[in-house]
Structure 1
């Protein structure tokens, strides 16, 4: 289920193998009275649209990407690509597909 009229304003940008960033997005939070009663205001009662788990209010409002994790994954991808080029040689360009008239 989506919210197409507003989705561009709150949905994070998913990066392959790097998670989601919410830079410049409006945080939309929701909760239930039951969760509020059980955990109090500062507990993991907040659901931020575009995320996959209940969080505390500070975690739900945090837009800071995990740059260390992102850097670590990018380095690993570069090392894997370098290894593959060493073993298999440079990547060959794809042959263009024939166009049908």
Structure 2
């Protein structure tokens, strides 16, 4: 880890007129702005040391910090005003001000990599489920989707009727009713025939 603290001891030139309080505040503000610009210059020129490239994986935004040097910077005025535990630290390559612990942490590194890989795997599984459902066959009569057991049955039978269980049952019920109706009609016809034969025999007698 590298820590940069920028600051400069204020000196008065010999014979210089003392500054008013307002002038001192303005001078301190300008000096601090120069320190911040200097830190930005150091950040730009040292990029090769602290830059963490993204992992070379599709859809991954996480960065690989294993071969990068963490560099954090602050200024003496900020350090005096807030103390080392305050959010006065800037991590090179990362925007904003952070506490020292947060500045040294890598939430966009391995943690993000793991989360993004998990999200990518979940998205892949969801795409596979959607494709699986897209290919799921439907009943040619009512359009209902086959459950897994019915789908497996269809795969095993090349002469499958492509009907769902409900439509199959409806067909079976209809065939049973038709068979019962035929049996009843046959029985009624036989009874009528027997009745006519009996009437004829009585008339002949």
The gaps in structure 2 that reach 5 residues or longer are 1-39, 133-205
Greater per-residue helix proportion = 2
**TM-score normalised to structure 1 length:** 0.59
The alignment covers a number of residue pairs equal to 87
In 2: Cα distance, 1:55 partner to 1:36 partner: 13
Q: Confirm whether residue 14 of structure 1 aligns to residue 54 of structure 2.
A: yes
Deviations 1:59-79 (A, max 9, x none): 323458453x53333122112
Secondary structure of 1:54's counterpart equals coil
**TM-score normalised to structure 2 length:** 0.34
In 2: Cα distance, 1:72 partner to 1:54 partner: 25
Structure with the greater relative contact order (CA < 8 A, sep ≥ 6): 1 or 2? 1
Over the residues paired in the alignment, what is the CA RMSD in angstroms?
A: 3.1
The gaps in structure 1 that reach 5 residues or longer are 90-101
Deviations 1:67-101 (A, max 9, x none): 3x533331221121222234347xxxxxxxxxxxx
Superposed, 1:1-101 pairs within 5 Å as: 3=44, 6-15=46-55, 16-62=59-105, 65-67=109-111, 69-88=112-131
In 1: Cα distance, 2:49 partner to 2:126 partner: 40
In 1: Cα distance, 2:88 partner to 2:76 partner: 9
